[in-house]
């Protein structure tokens, strides 16, 4: 395997991609942002953004973390002009990170056509500059890797999720930071996780996070268990939780994060995605891509996505590695999948075999490799309203 290479940023972190992010700051600017990026849809220009007009500190934090992600080399902010998003604070944060940044205000630029023309001109100049940037050596200990599962079925907890867990154990042993989620799909596993925590105080925080998720879902009258899960052979949220928990592997749990928190060092971290306080904004995550965006906002260079029934999504900013748990699904959707974990079910590979394959694929992304979702042009992105309180000192005992 080739040596890992990365793009060095001013904060010392390194990216495995060198993307121009075009970020719309209200849904009214989404079309213009998308049209600006269109000529480079296969050449490292990605659209992200926040659709809401009402201000939200979570959304502002998320976009700041995403626009200063190590995989991002330059940022174009696209504003309508009258939204509540604090565009100039975001511009200052991006500029302070050492990245080129421009804010385009549609109402001041002269409307759709003029804004698209000006935006494309700026993106073209930045893309040319970034293409000339040299990479530097990168260590495995500098990687941050996330994992999520979606479209789960009865095979997910037997093959794909535990194989992702084995890959996590290998990467953590080499110094990487690995992040698993989500607390709403870990109900019933909280005491098992607490026993793996580095400190008793962190164990209590893990238990509290899962209890919060259970209360949140009870208030909504909704759990993280869909009709498609039942059709795929899962019987209860407890069964789904055990399968989802398997993604975490067997390493000690080093900390608890909330969206936008960056792991301070290597190790295993749980991401709490359920908002704090009273239920205000509806479902914690309206689809899998909302969770992927939160993992990326925590610095994930790539995300492992385990699916049994089949999912085709990727993401803006960071590559998504598709791990297919079900061998029949893999045969039907092989063009969208990176790893056939269903081989475990059919006796054609062991958990360790597939875990090593996933680990090697992750390292390959930092030495010139691409995922299937990248080659197919997937750049999905979702960001909604949420509210969080800062994590306490017990959440990061190893910091």
pLDDT at 154: 81
End position of a domain, from candidates 132, 167, 190: 132
DSSP, residue by residue, 241-255: HHHHHGGGTTSPEEE
Q: Does 169 lie in the same domain as 153?
A: yes
Q: Does 144 lie in the same domain as 121?
A: no
CA dihedral defined by 189, 193, 194, 197, rounded to 10 degrees?
-170
Asked whether residue 224 is assigned to any structural domain, the reply reads yes
pLDDT along the chain (399 residues), means of 10: 89 98 98 98 96 96 98 98 96 98 98 98 98 97 95 86 97 98 87 96 97 91 58 55 84 98 98 94 89 98 96 97 96 98 96 98 95 97 97 91
3-state secondary structure of 11: coil
Q: Does 309 lie in the same domain as 208?
A: yes
Asked whether residue 236 is assigned to any structural domain, the reply reads yes
∠ at Cα 73 (87, 27), nearest 5°? 35
Q: How far is CA 266 from CA 63, 143, 258, 263, 276, in A?
A: 24, 8, 17, 7, 26
Whether 35 contacts 370, CB under 8 Å: no
3-state secondary structure of 390: coil
Residues in the chain: 399
pLDDT at 187: 87
Give 55's DSSP letter.
Answer: -
> Residue 58 is part of a domain; what is its CATH number?
3.40.50.2300
Q: Does 168 lie in the same domain as 122?
A: no
Q: Does 369 lie in the same domain as 232?
A: yes
Asked whether residue 50 is assigned to any structural domain, the reply reads yes
Residue 260 CA to residue 132 CA, distance in Å, equals 30
End position of a domain, from candidates 74, 108, 132: 132
Token digits of residue 337: 């999948």
Q: Does 338 lie in the same domain as 190?
A: yes
pLDDT at 231: 61
Whether 143 contacts 177, CB under 8 Å: yes
**Domain assignment of residue 155, given as a range:** 140-395
Work out the end-to-end distance of the chain between its first and last CA atoms, rounded to an integer number of angstroms. 32
Q: Does 104 lie in the same domain as 251?
A: no
Count of structural domains within the chain: 2
Q: Does 155 lie in the same domain as 96?
A: no
pLDDT at 188: 86
Asked whether residue 389 is assigned to any structural domain, the reply reads yes
Whether 144 contacts 263, CB under 8 Å: yes
Asked whether residue 4 is assigned to any structural domain, the reply reads no
Token digits of residue 203: 């164990």
Residue 353 CA to residue 113 CA, distance in Å, equals 53
Q: Does 174 lie in the same domain as 122?
A: no
Q: Does 145 lie in the same domain as 127?
A: no
Asked whether residue 238 is assigned to any structural domain, the reply reads yes
Asked whether residue 148 is assigned to any structural domain, the reply reads yes
pLDDT at 284: 86
Q: Does 124 lie in the same domain as 243?
A: no
Element (H, E) at 288: helix 288-297
Q: Does 390 lie in the same domain as 322?
A: yes
Q: Which of 126, 140, 127 is nearest to 16 (CA)?
A: 140
Residue 389 CA to residue 130 CA, distance in Å, equals 36
Residue 55 CA to residue 51 CA, distance in Å, equals 11
Q: How far is CA 308 from CA 12, 64, 143, in A?
A: 38, 33, 26
Helix axis angle for 160-173 and 351-365, nearest 10°, is 60
End position of a domain, from candidates 113, 132, 151: 132
pLDDT at 236: 56
CA dihedral defined by 120, 122, 128, 129, rounded to 10 degrees?
-160
- Dihedral sign, Cα of residue 284, residue 287, residue 288, residue 289: negative
Residue 206 CA to residue 203 CA, distance in Å, equals 5
Asked whether residue 295 is assigned to any structural domain, the reply reads yes
């Amino acid at each position: 395997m080739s040596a890992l290479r990365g793009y060095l940023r001013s904060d010392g972190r390194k990216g495995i991609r060198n993307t121009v992010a075009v970020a719309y700051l209200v849904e009214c600017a989404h079309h213009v942002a998308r049209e600006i990026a269109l000529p480079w849809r296969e050449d490292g220009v990605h659209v992200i953004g926040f659709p809401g007009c009402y201000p939200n500190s979570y959304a502002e934090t998320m976009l700041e973390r995403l626009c200063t992600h190590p995989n991002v080399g330059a940022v174009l902010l696209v504003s309508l002009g009258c939204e509540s998003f604090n565009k100039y604070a975001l511009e200052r944060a991006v500029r302070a990170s050492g990245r080129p940044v421009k804010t385009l205000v549609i109402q001041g630029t002269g409307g759709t056509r003029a804004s698209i023309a000006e935006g494309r001109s700026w993106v073209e100049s930045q893309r040319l500059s970034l293409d000339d940037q040299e990479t530097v050596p990168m260590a495995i200990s500098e990687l941050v890797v996330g994992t999520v599962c979606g479209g789960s079925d009865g095979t997910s907890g037997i093959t794909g999720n535990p194989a992702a867990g084995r890959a996590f154990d290998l990467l953590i042993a080499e110094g990487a930071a690995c992040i698993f989620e989500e607390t709403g799909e870990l109900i019933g596993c909280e005491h098992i996780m607490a026993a793996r925590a580095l400190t008793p105080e962190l164990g209590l925080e893990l238990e509290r996070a899962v209890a919060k998720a259970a209360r949140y879902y009870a208030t909504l009258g909704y759990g993280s268990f869909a009709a498609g899960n039942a059709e795929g052979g899962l019987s209860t949220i407890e069964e789904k939780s055990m399968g989802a928990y398997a993604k975490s592997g067997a390493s000690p749990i080093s900390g608890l994060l909330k969206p936008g928190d960056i792991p301070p060092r290597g190790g295993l971290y749980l991401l709490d995605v359920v908002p704090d306080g009273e239920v205000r904004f509806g479902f914690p995550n309206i689809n899998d891509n909302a969770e992927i965006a939160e993992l990326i906002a925590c610095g994930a260079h790539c995300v492992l996505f385990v699916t049994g029934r089949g999912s085709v999504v990727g993401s803006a900013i960071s590559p998504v590695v598709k791990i297919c748990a079900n061998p029949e699904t893999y045969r039907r959707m092989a063009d969208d999948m990176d790893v056939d974990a269903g081989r475990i079910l059919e006796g054609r590979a062991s958990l360790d075999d597939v875990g090593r394959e996933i680990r090697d694929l992750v390292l390959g992304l930092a030495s010139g490799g691409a995922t299937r979702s990248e080659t197919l042009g997937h750049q999905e992105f979702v960001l909604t309203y949420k509210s969080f309180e800062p994590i306490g000192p017990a959440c990061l005992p190893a910091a």
